[in-house]
């Protein structure tokens, strides 16, 4: 209850037909104050309680406007002529509520939208590149604000196959949506059962993406933030589908650009294919000859094809190594240890173990 906005958001909406009733009520038992006497208390932009003055201390219930369902759940306490109602969840912006006594509406008020909040933006979609392998496994959608919890993400995402000129449902519908803790990054899987060769979903519906097809992913502007504010605009992402990626990430094929001694220039690593934008930043470490972690910052560049590591302190002469956690995946979900779609009976498949340590030396 840190901020109080008295009066300003109250919208008096008493119907004329109720006036006589209210006057009668006034003279009978309830000395009702006008709606201007209702105080709406905010906490972090949410309406957490409502206060009003009355000489009656019981029998009041709160309802949605013109709603015959049971009263709103909450806690009503009255003391010294002031009643405070604390709903179990904050009142909804834009919604009108009624205070009733003996099933009769005696007051109503509307919750304003807070002017402090901003519309969310979709700030990144990974993979950044439009050209993707046919066996692309997942996509990330990164937002500027925490997004709403009540509706399914796929209610706001549609995919159109421009080549076949029809709608396409490439994403796996999940009851448990995969968000980060802050609810600003959503992970969507392309249906894994359709990607894997010869699984029943694959046989029945074919792969989610078809080679040489072009898709438009549309993100609806009606998608709202936690605070109920819609995206600033509709967003569109194109996918141009090429052949399957049937190779595991292989650090031995990465190009390493080694900085000079006594500088803080970044260590540059260029991959031979785009990497998973989230995993790459969490699966790579730089260590010195003693195996101690070098503190610094990684930056992902050039459509996830390059990463830079800027150390907190200057490089000193000696041997170093880049360690890659084998769970790192490429766009097709292949990690350092296995292909996502593996036919163990096919000896020609890529099944050799992959080195996950790259050694380098800082020189003069």
Partner 1 sequence: MKKFILPTLLLVLSLYGLSSWTTNETSEDLTANFIYGDPEIGSINALSFGPEGILFVGDSENAMVYALDTKDSSEKGNGDEINIRKFDQMIAASLGTTEDKIRISDMAVNPKSKTPYFAVSMEDGTTVLLRLKDEALENVSLKGISYSKISLNDAIDADAKDKRGRPQRMWAIADLKFHGDRILVSGLSNKEFASTFRSIPFPFTDSQDQTSLEIWHAAHGQYETHAPIKTFDVVSLNNQDYLMASYTCTPLVLFPMAELENGKHIKGRTVAELGAGNSPLDMISYKKEGKKYFLMSNTNRPVMRLDYEDIADFKETLTKPVTEFAVATGVPYDNLPFPYVQQMDNLDDSNVLYIQRTGSGELILRSRSTKWM
Residue numbers 153-212 binding partner 1 by CB under 8 A: 169, 172-181, 183, 185, 187, 189, 191-202, 204-205
Name which position in 28, 58, 115, 345 contacts partner 1 (CB under 8 A): 345
Coil vs helix vs strand at 228: coil
Token couple for 140:
């990330």
Under 8 Å CB-to-CB from 34, ≥6 apart: which residues?
Answer: 12
10 Å Cβ neighbour count for 218? Answer: 14
Nearer to partner 1, 19 or 199 (CB): 199
**Whole-number minimum distance, CB 170 to partner 1, in Å?**
11
Task: Please report, as residue ranges, which positions from 8 to 47 form the binding site for partner 1 (by CB under 8 A).
Answer: 46
What is the C-alpha to C-alpha distance for residues 324 and 320, in angstroms, rounded to an integer?
Answer: 13
Nearer to partner 1, 197 or 319 (CB): 197
Task: Please report, as residue ranges, which positions from 249 to 278 form the binding site for partner 1 (by CB under 8 A).
Answer: 276, 278
Residue with tokens 């000395």: 31
Which of the ranges 221-229, 241-249, 267-275, 355-363 carries the binding residues for partner 1, by CB under 8 A?
221-229
**Whole-number minimum distance, CB 110 to partner 1, in Å?**
13
* Burial readout 148-185 (b: 16 or more C-beta within 10 A, e: otherwise): beeeebeebbebbbeeeeeebebbbeeeeeebeeebbb
DSSP class of residue 151? Answer: S
Nearer to partner 1, 95 or 361 (CB): 95
What is the C-alpha to C-alpha distance for residues 288 and 296, in angstroms, rounded to an integer?
Answer: 13
> How many binding residues for partner 1 (CB under 8 A)?
78
Task: Please report, as residue ranges, which positions from 67 to 96 form the binding site for partner 1 (by CB under 8 A).
Answer: 67, 69-74, 87-92, 95
178 phi and psi angles, rounded to 5 deg: -100, 95
The DSSP bridge partners found for residue 178 are 187
Nearer to partner 1, 164 or 174 (CB): 174
Nearer to partner 1, 183 or 270 (CB): 183
Nearer to partner 1, 270 or 323 (CB): 323
What is the C-alpha to C-alpha distance for residues 209 and 134, in angstroms, rounded to an integer?
Answer: 6
Residue with tokens 């080195």: 355
Task: Please report, as residue ranges, which positions from 122 to 151 form the binding site for partner 1 (by CB under 8 A).
Answer: 137-138, 146, 148-151
Nearer to partner 1, 113 or 151 (CB): 151
Under 8 Å CB-to-CB from 187, ≥6 apart: which residues?
Answer: 138, 139, 140, 178, 179, 278
What is the C-alpha to C-alpha distance for residues 51 and 48, in angstroms, rounded to an integer?
Answer: 10
Name which position in 42, 62, 143, 309 contacts partner 1 (CB under 8 A): 62
Name which position in 343, 355, 357, 359 contacts partner 1 (CB under 8 A): 343
**Whole-number minimum distance, CB 184 to partner 1, in Å?**
12
Nearer to partner 1, 16 or 344 (CB): 344
What is the C-alpha to C-alpha distance for residues 188 and 174, in angstroms, rounded to an integer?
Answer: 9
DSSP class of residue 155? Answer: G
What is the C-alpha to C-alpha distance for residues 117 and 234, in angstroms, rounded to an integer?
Answer: 19
What is the C-alpha to C-alpha distance for residues 357 and 354, in angstroms, rounded to an integer?
Answer: 9
Task: Please report, as residue ranges, which positions from 283 to 322 form the binding site for partner 1 (by CB under 8 A).
Answer: 293, 295
| 230 binds partner 1 per the rule CB under 8 A | no
What is the C-alpha to C-alpha distance for residues 159 and 172, in angstroms, rounded to an integer?
Answer: 12
Nearer to partner 1, 204 or 364 (CB): 204
Name which position in 335, 336, 356, 362 contacts partner 1 (CB under 8 A): 335
């Amino acid at each position: 209850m840190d901020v109080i906005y008295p009066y300003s958001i109250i919208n008096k909406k008493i119907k004329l037909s109720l006036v006589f009733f209210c006057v009668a009520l006034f003279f009978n038992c309830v000395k009702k104050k006008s709606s201007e006497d209702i105080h709406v208390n905010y906490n972090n932009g949410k309406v957490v309680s409502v206060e009003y003055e009355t000489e009656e201390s019981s029998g009041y219930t709160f309802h949605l406007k013109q709603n015959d369902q049971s009263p709103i759940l909450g806690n009503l306490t009255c003391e010294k002529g002031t009643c405070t109602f604390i709903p179990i969840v904050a009142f909804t912006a834009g919604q009108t509520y009624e205070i009733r006594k003996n099933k009769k509406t005696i007051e109503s008020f509307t919750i304003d939208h807070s002017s402090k909040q901003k519309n969310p933006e979709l700030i990144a979609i990974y993979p950044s590149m439009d050209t993707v392998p046919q066996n692309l496994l997942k996509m990330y959608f990164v937002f500027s604000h925490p997004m709403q919890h009540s509706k399914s993400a796929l209610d706001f995402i549609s995919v159109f196959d421009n080549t076949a000129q029809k709608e396409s449902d490439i994403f796996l519908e999940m009851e448990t949506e995969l968000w980060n803790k802050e609810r600003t990054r959503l992970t969507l899987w392309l249906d894994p059962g359709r990607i894997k060769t010869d699984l029943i979903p694959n046989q029945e519906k074919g792969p989610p993406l078809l080679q040489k097809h072009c898709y438009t992913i549309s993100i609806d502007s009606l998608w709202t933030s936690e605070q109920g504010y819609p995206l600033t605009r509709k967003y569109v992402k194109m996918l141009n589908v090429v052949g399957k990626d049937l190779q595991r990430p292989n650090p031995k094929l990465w190009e390493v650009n080694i900085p000079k001694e006594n500088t803080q220039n970044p260590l540059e690593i260029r991959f031979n294919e785009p990497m998973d934008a989230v995993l790459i930043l969490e699966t790579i470490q730089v260590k010195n000859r003693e195996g101690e972690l070098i503190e610094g910052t990684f930056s992902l560049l050039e459509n996830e094809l390059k990463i830079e590591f800027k150390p907190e302190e200057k490089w000193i002469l000696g041997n170093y190594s880049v360690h890659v956690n084998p769970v790192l995946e490429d766009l097709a979900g292949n990690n350092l240890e296995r292909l996502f779609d593996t036919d163990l009976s096919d000896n020609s498949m890529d099944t050799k173990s992959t080195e996950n340590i790259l050694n380098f030396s800082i020189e003069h």
